[in-house]
């Protein structure tokens, strides 16, 4: 549904996107992860036709988005990062504008609004003015506007920012439902549990470059290591000889071991501590995770030195 090839964009001397490639198939949710300023919003804005690119290609549904933007973006729904609703109008009138722009007739508009309101818990609020809604309700309306035209490509830029637990859960349910019905979803977020909850494919951006992409399991396996942390009374003993193949660092009373197999390392070290075992005061085991993969990738001192994109898909 969406193919992005070699997309680059600079704001003056700052490279916002640097040869970004991305593919999102029908029914796929692709999560864009990155720090603030990593290029997520720039990427979403270019795909939505709000910003021009310096170079690269975008195809939506096989249509070149730069050569024929209107046709390519005809079935696109965008929920920008900032909540964008008409506060003086009712929720229904907010949605009605966008069904009108999507070419829906009266009865189709009524059906689309009622269905979406049901999904997002807005049914009771449809005739209430947007300015009278709570922050979470307004966020749901904001997302509903992006979806009311029944788009086949949905771009959601941090849709759950500021949302309460219920709103977040409802929004995630709607996103899953969209993908089940065949829409391609680009979902930019800072919240890792959302990505795992959506079972999305992952794209990690840093300073405009794609550092990794693939399924959650693939990215975690490739880029994340678990840690076993031991805290001793007094100076930590030298445990490195016990674990020759793992990365061990010692600082004062604390020993940190990075490993892909936390269970085996924990078992081995506890068995071999011998007389040092009585001085052990704490043990923390952290499994490999998407968050640690993200930190591992983005905390590298100079991302520009990373050679190429690690495509684990």
Nearer to another protein, 48 or 205 (CB): 48
User: Cβ 77 to another protein, closest distance in Å?
Assistant: 8
Of 63 and 240, the one with the shorter C-beta distance to another protein is 63
Query: Which residues, other chains included, contact 25 with Cβ-Cβ below 8 Å and sequence gap of 6+?
Result: 1, 184
Minimal distance in Å, beta carbon 109 to another protein? 10
Q: In the complex with another protein, which residue's Cβ is closer, 74 or 240?
A: 74
Q: Is 204 helix (H, G, I), strand (E, B) or coil?
A: strand
Smaller CB distance to another protein: residue 48 or 116? 48
If residue 22 lies in a helix (H) or strand (E), which one and from where to where?
A: strand 14-24
Give strand pairing partners of 79.
Answer: 156
Rounded to the nearest whole angstrom, what is the least distance from the CB of residue 101 to another protein in the complex?
Answer: 4
Nearer to another protein, 149 or 208 (CB): 149
Half-sphere exposure of 222 (CA within 13 A, CB side): 18
Q: Shortest approach of another protein to residue 54 CB, angstroms? A: 14
Binding site for another protein (CB under 8 A): 45, 48-52, 70, 73-74, 76, 78, 80, 82-89, 93, 96-98, 100-103, 129, 145, 149
- The nearer residue to another protein, 87 or 193, going by C-beta atoms, is 87
Please report how close the Cβ of residue 306 comes to another protein at its closest, in angstroms.
Answer: 32
Least distance between another protein and beta carbon 88 (Å): 4
Asked if residue 195 lies in contact with residue 291, where contact means CB atoms within 8 angstroms, the answer is no
Task: Give pairs for 136-142: CB < 8 Å, separation 24+.
Answer: 136/162, 136/163, 136/164, 136/166, 136/167, 137/167, 138/83, 138/85, 139/83, 139/163, 139/167, 139/171, 140/167, 140/170, 140/171, 141/85, 141/91, 141/94, 141/95, 142/79, 142/83, 142/84, 142/85
> Closest separation between CB of residue 281 and another protein, Å?
52
Q: Distance between CA 276 and CA 292 in Å, rounded?
A: 29
What is the distance between the alpha carbons of residues 104 and 98, in angstroms, rounded to a whole number? 9
Sign of CA dihedral 300, 301, 303, 307: negative
CB nearer another protein, residue 46 or residue 219: 46
């Amino acid at each position: 549904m969406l193919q992005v090839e070699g997309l680059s964009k600079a704001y003056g001397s700052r490279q916002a996107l640097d040869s970004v490639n991305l593919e999102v198939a029908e029914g796929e949710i692709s999560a864009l992860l990155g720090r603030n300023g990593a290029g997520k919003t720039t990427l979403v804005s270019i795909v939505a036709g709000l910003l021009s690119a310096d170079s690269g290609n975008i195809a939506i549904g096989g249509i070149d988005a730069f050569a024929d933007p209107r046709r390519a973006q005809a079935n696109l729904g965008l929920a920008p990062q900032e909540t964008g609703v008409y506060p003086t109008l009712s929720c229904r009138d907010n949605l009605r504008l966008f069904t009108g722009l999507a070419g829906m007739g009266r009865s189709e508009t009524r059906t689309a609004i009622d269905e979406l309101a049901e999904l997002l818990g807005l049914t009771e609020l449809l005739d209430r003015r947007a300015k009278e809604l709570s922050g979470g309700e307004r966020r749901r309306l904001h997302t509903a506007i992006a979806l009311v035209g029944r788009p086949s490509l949905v771009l959601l830029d941090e849709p759950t920012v500021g949302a309460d637990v219920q709103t977040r859960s409802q929004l995630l349910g709607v996103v899953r439902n969209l993908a089940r019905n065949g829409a391609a979803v680009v979902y930019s977020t800072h919240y890792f549990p959302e990505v795992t909850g959506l079972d999305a494919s992952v794209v990690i951006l840093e300073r405009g470059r794609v550092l990794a992409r693939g399924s959650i399991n693939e990215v975690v396996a490739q880029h994340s290591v678990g840690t076993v942390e031991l805290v001793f009374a007094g100076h930590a003993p030298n445990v490195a000889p016990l674990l020759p193949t793992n990365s061990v660092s010692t600082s004062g009373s604390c020993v940190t071991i990075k490993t892909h197999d936390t269970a085996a390392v924990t078992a081995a070290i506890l068995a071999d501590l011998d007389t040092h075992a009585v001085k052990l005061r704490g043990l923390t085991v952290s499994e490999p995770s998407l968050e640690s993969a993200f930190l591992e990738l983005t905390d590298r001192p100079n991302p520009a030195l990373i050679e190429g994109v690690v495509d684990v898909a």
